[in-house]
Amino acid sequence: MASYKQPCIECGGLIDRDARFCPKCGSTSPFILSCPACLREVSRSDKVCAGCGRPLMVTCPKCGGETFVGSKCGSCGASLLIP
């Protein structure tokens, strides 16, 4: 039986549609953007989560620019994850 694959929104790698993590880049949300606090689906244009009110824009520790909350800074590409 054929297994259809879908691109990860973070790296573009083709992965199984039922994957909960991207094995290529490690994204914990490979198909939708979700709020880190309540896991509600959000979009990059949202400033706050409609579900819990958490701000979705953060300051990058490397470049100091404002970026959408996620694993990497949208401007400089630095990791936003705390080791």
- Percentage helix, strand, coil, to 5, in the chain? 0, 25, 75
Q: pTM, whole model, 2 decimals? A: 0.69
Q: Compute the Cα dihedral for 60, 6, 23, 29 and give only its sign.
A: positive
pLDDT in tens, 10-59: 889 999 998 988 999 888 788 998 898 998 999 989 999 999 999 999 99
In this prediction, residue 2 has a pLDDT band, given cuts at 50, 70 and 90, of low
Spatial distance between the Cα atoms of 20 and 50, rounded to a whole number of angstroms: 23
Per-residue pLDDT, 82: 72
- As beta bridge partners, residue 16 has 5
Helix (H, G, I), strand (E, B) or coil at 69: coil
